[in-house]
A and B are shown apart, each in its own frame.
Chain A
Amino acid sequence: MSKTPPMILLVEDNEDDFEATQRSLEKNHFINPVHWCQSGQEALDYLFENNNKQMPDLVLLDLNMPGIDGRQVLQRIKDNDKTKKIPVIILTTSGDPIDIEMCYRLGASTYIQKPVNFESLTEAVKTIKDYWFGVAILPKK
């Protein structure tokens, strides 16, 4: 386990959705920092432009965003040696089988379709937190 507390990068263009996810995390007592990128470009900048930034332990990634979308971000993360070990969890509205297939092929760790209902989202986030920061062993930075 690394000494710095685990950190999440949340890539989400929709403010409501961001708030919902963050609240879900809080509700599940995830007190570690969550860095919010509001677009694909912002996420790429954070990950690749500045070496001093703390690398996330987990990426929660939305797929449909204007400009550079989640698929491209996922591809860049998995193509780069520095970032490819980071588990990426797709959290999206899309339930299109093509998207699901493509994301797993690109190297996504999990694919979750955003529930409409906040309670269900909280449940889903709890599962993510319990698994990735409880059961699973994350790679060393």
Chain B
Amino acid sequence: MSALIEFQNVCKYYEMGDTTVVAADHISFQIQRGEFVAIVGSSGSGKSTCMNIIGCLDVPSEGTYLLDGRDVGGMNKNELAEIRNELLGFIFQQYNLLPKLNLLENVEVPLMYAGISRSERRERAEAALGMVGLEEKLKHKPSQLSGGQQQRVSIARALAGEPAVILADEPTGALDSRTGREVLSLLQQLHAAGNTVVLITHDNTIAVQAQRIIRLEDGRVVYDGPSDAPDAVVTPRVAGTGGGAA
């Protein structure tokens, strides 16, 4: 069986005025179903570019990205929207809930775009919110919740669509360490239940919670291996050429 996520020499360039910025420089890796992978790197390492490409929000300038065996590079905007809806569940640093909608409605949004009937949507959203322990607050607005609770709603929203990949972008960045740990343990539970989780972070202490770490620097992979290996978090710095973009 082929890998769920496969990067083959993925490059991404941005035009910044007269100069071309290399944000991803021939990145290659594979992620199998059921893995819990952290993509880690400092600001400008290219991890955000990686996350945008994995999340089908952007396409590579060069190289090939296969998601579930499908080549994302040649897709148009509508096909990208469809594949995001079908295969990906996003968890953002800023939660990104819709403030005017209540929790149920927020969780229902991706299901609505998937064309799922009203009653089934309701059922699945309730189940997802139950899974993250918010079954008591279905009709609350996001602003009535704490940060940790809001992040749990966004996890529920990512889960409701039963995606192939759960993509978490600095999910603990806006939380204090205690609620951050709660969110991380929730991600570990999801992994234990068989989900593929990709965690994007700059924080080594969070990255080590994953099974495997892919470390990026200046748009290149400098480490790809288990998170408990001695050089997983401390990598000798390689002299980089060119700048990186966030």
A, B in one complex: no
Interface residues of B (CB under 8 A from A): none
